[in-house]
Amino acid sequence: MRILYPFLAILAVSLIAYLGGKVTGLQYLFGVVLPYLAFAVFIVGFVNRVLYWAKSPVPFRIPTTCGQGKSLDWINQDRLDCPNNKLEVIGRMLLEVFAFRSLFRNTKAEVHDGPKLVYGSSKWLWLFAILFHYSFLIVVIRHLRLFTEPVPSFVALTEFFDGILQIGAPTMYQTDVILLAAVAFLFLRRILSRHVKYISLAADYFPLFLIFAIALSGVLMRFYFRVDVIAIKQLTVGIATLSPVLPAGIHPIFFVHVLLVCILLVYFPFSKLMHMGGVFLSPTRNMSNNSRSVRHINPWNDPSIKPHSYAAYEDEFRDVMKEAGIPVEKE
């Protein structure tokens, strides 16, 4: 059910959009109204969620330290894995955000005869995750050709390099293939690896199906149904310039694509996909491990509460304690 329900949901939504995409009135709903709403929910929801996180105090230093901390001069510090100052933290964060360094550390634990616990390196997750994320980024940048006029040169440049293999017409983009392959891998990992499957929920499968369906409908649109790109750009540029028009003759598969993207946008701020913003706020990554050299004071300490020593405590409660038979230090 964890797998089937999300799958059926995506299927049903696609079907609704495909049938609705044939009706002009619904075309306006799917093509113009919902995208505006979804985008607004995405932006507001995202900002809201980050502000909500920002309200949580992080009074203690809780970085995960994966290396030697700063110590005596003659002991080498592992500066990226156990950062001691801002600069080192920035280095760690940059590598985390751009290179997924903590995923690179993914290991596989196996129990062998003996019994003996063995940890092996497991880089597949990192590899496909990085392929997936960068392909997705490039695909998003390429889509700007539909929302800008004239198209900025960095978009044209991205298109050029993405189609560098010059296969077929219209040119095949590598990232389309890589994105689909990577999502397929991430899905197979969840269902073939039994322990990963055991801890996977509908909320893990749903985004995978959703993103796969979005990419697939996009690929179908370009290579199979061959939608009228000029008409679609009139629609999308209209949206970006806040003066939407609905050209006639747009193929319904386009509305499937757009409705799925709208669902992704709305789902985003309320789901695990918020790791896009969350990675910057993870205290185990973005704090320096300097509690031995800097005193950190708990921000919610109430200054009117004075320290209360044991001696004073005993003075206050000596009679009661004696009555209850609790030993006291000073008779």
63: tokens are 């970085």
Cα–Cα dist 209/215, whole Å:
10
Residue 248 engages ligand HEC in binding (rule: CB under 6 A): no
- Per residue, the 3-state secondary structure of 70-129, as one string, reads CCCCCCCCCCCCCCCCHHHHHHHHHHHHHHCHHHHCCEEEEEECCCEEEEEECCHHHHHH
Q: Which of residues 210-229 bind another protein (CB under 8 A)?
A: 226-229
Q: Which of residues 257-286 bind another protein (CB under 8 A)?
A: 277, 280-281
Q: List CB contacts of 161: < 8 A, sequence separation 6 or more.
A: none
Return the residue matching tokens 């993914």.
106
| Near ligand HEC by CB under 6 A: residue from 230, 242, 248, 305 | 230
Count of CB atoms within 10 A of residue 253's CB?
Answer: 20
Give the DSSP letter of residue 81: T
- Name the 3-class secondary structure at 110: strand
173: tokens are 């983009």
Residue 169 engages ligand HEC in binding (rule: CB under 6 A): yes
Question: What does 222 interact with, of ligand HEC, another protein, none (CB < 5 to 8 A by kind)?
Answer: ligand HEC
Range in contact with another protein (rule: CB under 8 A) among 41-49, 128-136, 182-190, 252-260: 41-49
> Residue 42 Cβ, how far from another protein at the closest point, in Å?
8
* x/- track of binding to ligand HEC for residues 271-300 (CB under 6 A): ------------------------------
Q: Where on the chain is the footprint of ligand HEC (CB under 6 A)?
A: 169-171, 222, 229-230
Q: Where on the chain is the footprint of another protein (CB under 8 A)?
A: 42-43, 46-47, 50-51, 54-58, 144-145, 147-152, 155-156, 159-160, 168-170, 226-230, 233-234, 237, 240-242, 249, 277, 280-281, 299
